Structure 1
Amino acid sequence: MVKSEKLTNVSYKAVQIRDPFWTKYMNLVRDEVIPYQWGALNDRIEDAAPSHAIQNFRIAAGEAEGEFYGYIFQDSDVAKWLEAVAYSLATSPDLELEKLADETIDLLGKAQQADGYLNTHFSIKYPDRRWVNERDNHETYCAGHLIEAAVAYYETTGKIKLLDIACKLADHIDSIYGAEEGKQRGYPGHQEIELALMRLYEATGVERYLKLSLFFIDERGQEPHYFKLEAEQRAERFGRESLLKEGYYHLYKHNYEYNQSHLPVREQHHAVGHAVRAVYMYAGMTDVAAATQDQTLIDSCKRLWDNVTQRQMYITGGIGSNHDGEAFSFDYDLPNDTAYTETCAAIGLVFWAHRMLHLDPHGKYADVIERALYNGTISGMSLDGKSFFYVNPLEVWPDACKRPDKMHVEPVRQKWFGCACCPPNIARLIASLGQYIYSQSEQTAYVHQYIGSETKLEVAGRSVQLSQQTNYPWDETIELAVSPDRPGEFTVAVRIPGWCEGASVHVNGQAVSVEATLHKGYFAIKREWKAGDIVRIVLPMPVERIYANPNVRVNAGKVALQRGPVVYCLEQADNGAILPDISLPEHAALDVRFEPEVLGGVAVITGEAVRGELFGWDATLYAAKKRSERSVSIKAIPYFAWANRGAGEMQVWIRER
């Protein structure tokens, strides 16, 4: 049995991925997405929404003339691009790309002000309004993404210029905010810097970054409410009429739940408000809880985790069902056709789950990482890496996307967005995939995700090489080679996914009883290992019919199809129009076959279903006679691959009869 113990993460730099599924995505990020996004940041993509992000930095650096363009948080797109570049360089060195990144970093350094401040929107447009509206102005949000990029670039290249820029910026922020006399007792309106400061603390060992992150977390939601005080100060300084002109004023002036500042974080029991802000904050809380071993903060993280994953998460790993505010709604409110489920929110859920896994080693966190990775994150990018979803619904009727309540839903991916947070976010997630596969403790090597890869760990005083070979998620077999530098006893813990029944494990051809030593989702194999030992893991992957809790009312009488970690959907391209008319008999046989020519090579599910006859209704809206029915063949494809064959209907949940 694996006892609860502190895990040490294995860096993305220490993992080499060679996987039939994920290597394609990583190559896509390297070869297509990073260059494409550089073009978008420089406004070179024809018919795409302009970005102007690089030009903003040129203007702030004094290298160009002009006005700031874009959203108030436009700088963050450049930071996330740099972070994705850093991860990509770790696995695929590229001197030209590194040179481009270095030149971009030089530009950022020139744009940074003498006191460490770095934000092109305020440097160019409102130099007199720094730090007056942290509720709305995203100054610490942009700073957080810059800090994350700086840590990643330093870890990959060893170069300190961007890290120095980030430290100078963090030190400036520390001079503005805090409990000390003369500082502002504020905190971010859009959380991000909390987790970024913890990464900076881990990279530098400078304790004030930990203390500042803890301050932002502890101060949130206290009375008197900072955002109210801040607004009163702006009214006094700039005139009360100025508040009415603020972009977020009317929507959020009394809605403190929107940015999770309605209560102190230790008193929060339900996930509310903007979903991305929430999970970024929860990730930062988890980092701080792990560093300080604050039990009240640990308990809060666990309560919020349970609420999100057991009450407010879609089967795809998407979160944030409400398009009004890109927000959580209320427990079990998970509409399919109006789902917002922003790509960034699923990515943020992965970040949080990864931290929870190391705070409290349990397979349920790795299960959620897996669910989001194979479904709700990569659905946000086309198979060619050149178009993106901001919103990831579970049901689409293209004509209905014209309705005011569904206009946020796009039936096809877009080349770029004016608010382009999602494309570079998915690039940095995929490029850093290696960090989600393995962990280690003093006596145990953990395998969290089944991805073809190699790494070396230090376990029980030995250097241990682990190597996975698999065609997961299409194939149910994983071979794990365990090779210590010398024979010795230690534990290898492999995750048995929550969706799997009947898993089997063999070591060097000998069966091992999984049930006897399964603990918190992991099968722990403690033995004397020697070089060349092989663990063969078989995770049976029948097609599963998944049913929703009856409180999820929109899914009453419906079923979803899942095989292994992959959620499936019906698309019009395979099944014709009016998909809601299809019903799946309860005991209908469902078959699986891999189709290498379909959508880049995927396993599809086929079977027989029933639908009503469609003829004879051209001139009739209603009738007192039930339609005759006919048997039809259906094909379901992985949800992540939908909308790669043009606009058409799609649905995850199918009527069952």
Structure 2
Amino acid sequence: MQNTFTNKNLSYGIVEVQDPFWSPYMQLIRNTVIPYQWEALNDRIPDAEPSYAIHNFLVSAGLKQGEFEGMVFQDSDVTKWLEAVGHSLRNYPDPHLEKIADKAIELIAKAQHSNGYINTYYTIKRPGKQWTNLQEAHELYCAGHLIEAAVAYYEGTGKRQLLDVACKLADHIDDVFGIEEGKIRGYDGHQEIELALVKLYKLTNETRYLMLAKFFIDERGTIPNYLLEESKRRGGNSVWHDQPAPFMTSNQLDYHQAHKPVREQEVAVGHAVRAVYMYTAMADLANLTGDRELREACCRLWENIVNKQMYITGGIGSSPHGEAFTFDYDLPNDTVYSETCASIGLIFFANRMLEMERSSGYADILERALYNNVISSMSQDGMHYFYVNPLEVWPEASEKNPGRRHVKAARQKWFGCSCCPPNVSRLLSSLNDYIYTVYPEENKIYTHLFIGSEAEHKLAAGIVQLKQESRLPWEGYTRFEFTLVPEVDFSLFLRIPSWCSGDPVLKINGVAVGFDIQGGYAVVVRQWAKGDILEWEMNIEAKLVESHPKIRANAGKVAIVRGPLVYCLEETDNCSVISSISINRKSNLEVSVDSTLPGNPIVVKAFGRKDQQLSWREDIPYRAVAQRNDSQSVLVNAVPYYLWGNRGVGEMSVWVRAFDCE
């Protein structure tokens, strides 16, 4: 008889999103993005870069003749898509979509080796060479995404074919890796397997999977360094070139966060996605095992990222060279990288840190990355995407300057390396998992995100059902209605956002009440009654913000924020040389609804000025400073950053020069 698993960490309860801002996104994912991405995975999108992902599985399963095509990690695009489907089906059953996914799962199962191994690159292109190039080949990375997909699909449908494939694969990996004689004491160049194994452990309660995740974390960066030794053993042979490459050197280890043991790492370095995926797993393990040193490392790395290496939009990874962190305060706006996947990984990390330490600061960052960097990466039609998320765009420079060609002025239909689009799908289709955290034995419900939803949570005291209605991001008002409550006290915690101006107001059944504050959350403890109404009013206003003086790219500049949203200036609302605009620091920021933009958002206007160009001759690039101010007064128009680039190609900037004038 098949085992029936229950996820012992379903701390999010049963939550169904019903929100005027977020429900359209989830509907877009369900009705447009998931079907579109399935077509892309099958190479059926006209004029888009081919994916080859399904092609590789067909060849690997013996159902088609051909060679391996695409990136070495192409398998992961399929399994991230399946994970998104699993989350979507959990929330919105769809027999047609489920049938398509089941066929994809059958294909994956056919491609699995008898010992549990599965990877189309090595099956097709390098048979017999499995596990010989962990630095580059992404075998464990692809395995991790398959495992995550299997957990999500089982939770969404109760079907276990993909879960059986995942468990067989995880068992094989456990047979191959470890400290025992004859096993490989190594780890993947691209972290992902670690957090996936923790998810599999939570679902199956199989301790071996947790210990395997811990092994991969513990081995990274130890001496002798596995990646250096492996490079020597394979003679420098590379998956990127069919010829030997220079041996890996010790100064390349930080790219993989393998320059020192993880518990000793103090600053975020290297490839940003790899880093935050690893930090997520570290926080998972610290939570589950009580590892104090691992917890301290997570806190150090978190503080370094959000205080010194993060963009105002929640983007991370400033360099296009290696999609990587560089050093503290190095945050250029025009050559930025800020990969979508990196912000999604930061959200994962924030979510695990919230479980480890109940502090609202983690939810603040989660919210910032979600409302800005993540959803800005996808067009409002759901069929075009940014891989790089800039804070400043000059389209001509993107086209003609080799140093800026990675910065696109328009979203793309698909990418040869298309890790980001399915990552957006799997995050947004599981959005309901990030709203609450519940501690059943403590009878505590934490509200991290103010997103309209209906929820049911099981506490030791009994079942709680509540309906949340939110007006974010446009108004700082949220209403909770309790439709089922136990007959004893329980606690509701409400995040006090960092963007909230002044003291928030809490009302119960129309009467304002006081509250205690713990970790940045308002705490309400009482014996609730069915029909109780709680109102949470947070003051939301548009503000000009400035950055630390060490962030040289923003010197003398300001940005506009309102609530969780960052705003930007676009050419279509202002002028063709955005850099010629400056904002009066003392300007009253005016807000209004713009019905011409998708979703009728609130836009912000400020008083400023624009440098005149008419007095300049085209053939004289420089001149003595004029003794008169020939700038022109203008009304500066700013739109939410997440909407930029949906009205054609043009200049854009988040940070704008500022001046002081009464």
> 2:508: which partner in 1?
507
> 1:140: which partner in 2?
140
Unmatched tracts of structure 2, length 5 or more: 1-7
The separation in 2 between residues aligned to 1:32 and 1:277, in whole angstroms, is 29
Do the aligned partners of 1:462 and 1:484 also contact (CA within 8 Å) in 2? no
> 1:4: which partner in 2?
none
> 1:327: which partner in 2?
324
Larger deviation: 476-485 or 497-506? 476-485
> 2:47: which partner in 1?
47
Counterpart amino acid of 1:435? D
Larger deviation: 631-640 or 480-489? 480-489
**Structure 2 counterparts to residues 252-401 of structure 1, below 5 A:** 253-254=249-250, 255-401=252-398
**Structure 2 counterparts to residues 243-642 of structure 1, below 5 A:** 245=241, 249=245, 253-254=249-250, 255-401=252-398, 402-441=400-439, 442-502=442-502, 503-514=504-515, 517-619=516-618, 620-626=620-626, 628-642=630-644
Larger deviation: 609-618 or 487-496? 609-618
C-alpha displacement of 1:553? 1.2
> 1:192: which partner in 2?
192
The C-alpha deviation readout for 1:415-455, integer Å capped at 9, x for no partner, is 00000000000000000000000111222111110000011
> 2:223: which partner in 1?
223
The separation in 2 between residues aligned to 1:208 and 1:637, in whole angstroms, is 50
| 1:20 counterpart SS class | coil
The separation in 2 between residues aligned to 1:33 and 1:374, in whole angstroms, is 18
Do the aligned partners of 2:75 and 2:119 also contact (CA within 8 Å) in 1? yes
The C-alpha deviation readout for 1:304-346, integer Å capped at 9, x for no partner, is 1111111101100000001110000100111111110000000
Unmatched tracts of structure 1, length 5 or more: 1-7
Larger deviation: 385-394 or 398-407? 398-407
| 1:90 counterpart SS class | helix
The separation in 2 between residues aligned to 1:614 and 1:46, in whole angstroms, is 42
**Distance verdict in 2 for CA 1:525–1:46, change over 3 Å:** same
Q: Does 1:211 align with 2:211?
A: yes
The separation in 1 between residues aligned to 2:71 and 2:443, in whole angstroms, is 49
| 1:388 counterpart SS class | coil
> 2:159: which partner in 1?
159
The separation in 2 between residues aligned to 1:251 and 1:234, in whole angstroms, is 9
> 1:5: which partner in 2?
none
Do the aligned partners of 1:465 and 1:482 also contact (CA within 8 Å) in 2? yes
The separation in 2 between residues aligned to 1:230 and 1:115, in whole angstroms, is 24
Counterpart amino acid of 1:549? H
The separation in 2 between residues aligned to 1:540 and 1:280, in whole angstroms, is 34
The C-alpha deviation readout for 1:546-593, integer Å capped at 9, x for no partner, is 111111111111111100000000000100111111111111111111
| 1:89 counterpart SS class | helix
Larger deviation: 106-115 or 249-258? 249-258
The C-alpha deviation readout for 1:226-276, integer Å capped at 9, x for no partner, is 0121122212xxxx6779946995596440000100000000000000000
| 1:376 counterpart SS class | helix
The separation in 2 between residues aligned to 1:247 and 1:88, in whole angstroms, is 43
| 2:234 counterpart SS class | helix
The separation in 2 between residues aligned to 1:547 and 1:635, in whole angstroms, is 18
Counterpart amino acid of 1:378? I
C-alpha displacement of 1:379? 1.0
Counterpart amino acid of 1:505? L
Q: Does 1:74 align with 2:74?
A: yes
**Distance verdict in 2 for CA 1:252–1:421, change over 3 Å:** farther
The separation in 1 between residues aligned to 2:55 and 2:418, in whole angstroms, is 16
The separation in 2 between residues aligned to 1:298 and 1:139, in whole angstroms, is 28
| 1:488 counterpart SS class | coil
The separation in 2 between residues aligned to 1:198 and 1:458, in whole angstroms, is 23
| 2:489 counterpart SS class | strand
Do the aligned partners of 2:445 and 2:492 also contact (CA within 8 Å) in 1? yes
The separation in 2 between residues aligned to 1:436 and 1:540, in whole angstroms, is 23
Do the aligned partners of 1:487 and 1:531 also contact (CA within 8 Å) in 2? no
The separation in 2 between residues aligned to 1:357 and 1:242, in whole angstroms, is 39
The C-alpha deviation readout for 1:261-308, integer Å capped at 9, x for no partner, is 000000000000000000000001111111101111111111111111
The separation in 2 between residues aligned to 1:320 and 1:241, in whole angstroms, is 28
Do the aligned partners of 1:488 and 1:530 also contact (CA within 8 Å) in 2? no
The C-alpha deviation readout for 1:8-49, integer Å capped at 9, x for no partner, is 965667111110110010010011100100010000000000
Counterpart amino acid of 2:253? Y
The C-alpha deviation readout for 1:22-80, integer Å capped at 9, x for no partner, is 00100100111001000100000000000110011011111100001000000000000
**Distance verdict in 2 for CA 1:386–1:202, change over 3 Å:** same
**Structure 2 counterparts to residues 119-138 of structure 1, below 5 A:** 119-138=119-138
Question: What's the RMSD between the two structures over aligned residues?
Answer: 1.6
